[in-house]
Amino acid sequence: MGWQKYNGENLRSSINEAVESAIIRERQVGNKLKVYIGTDSQVKRNTIEMATVVVFLREHKGGFMFTQKEKISYRMSIKERMLLEVHKSIEAAYQLCPLLDKYEVDLEVHADINTNPNFESNIALKEAMGYILGMGFVFKAKPESFASTNCANRIVQ
């Protein structure tokens, strides 16, 4: 599926063009941006619904985001699903990285993985952290991973 605005409106351009336009527009009005990318998923019957978000926060002035949804009809373990979420986030980050570097916009990749070993998702923490850090991105997990835990979660609920 393609990328959308939070209100469900399809982007009329590529995600790269939409991100660049957003950065230029926000800079013109004096806003400093930071970007956060995350993915969350929900298992519903025999389908996994995934959502990846690119969240823009304006310093002290709120934010906005672009979303992408996908449905997968494939059974997988919790670890495999958590690592697929991370992979989706890294794909988006890798695609947008040249633009964000060009405009000097900071980026964090958020994983919907709990740092507390008492939670099931923790099984994928080490691999997810290594994957994200190994790709050169800043890594955040729960409770600091709001892009995946809150923003993407709203899209798949």
Total structural domains within the chain: 1
Cα R_g (the chain), whole angstroms: 15
pTM over 0.85: yes
Q: Give the model confidence (pLDDT) of 32-64 as tens digits.
A: 999 999 999 999 888 999 999 999 999 889 999
Terminal C-alpha separation, the chain: 17
Q: Which two tokens stand for residue 12?
A: 């009329």
Cis peptide bond upstream of 143, omega within 30: yes
Helix (H, G, I), strand (E, B) or coil at 13: coil
pLDDT at 92: 97
Averaged pLDDT score across all residues of the chain: 95
pLDDT > 70 fraction of the chain, expressed in percent and rounded: 99
Residue pointed to by tokens 């899209």: 155
Dihedral sign from CA coordinates of 140, 121, 128, 55 = negative
Q: Which two tokens stand for residue 101?
A: 């570097």
pLDDT at 46: 86
Cα separation, 24 vs 67, in Å, equals 20
Cα separation, 36 vs 11, in Å, equals 19
The whole domain housing 47 covers 3-156
Q: Which two tokens stand for residue 13?
A: 């351009």
81 φ, ψ to 5°? Answer: -65, -40
Over residues 132-157, mean pLDDT: 94
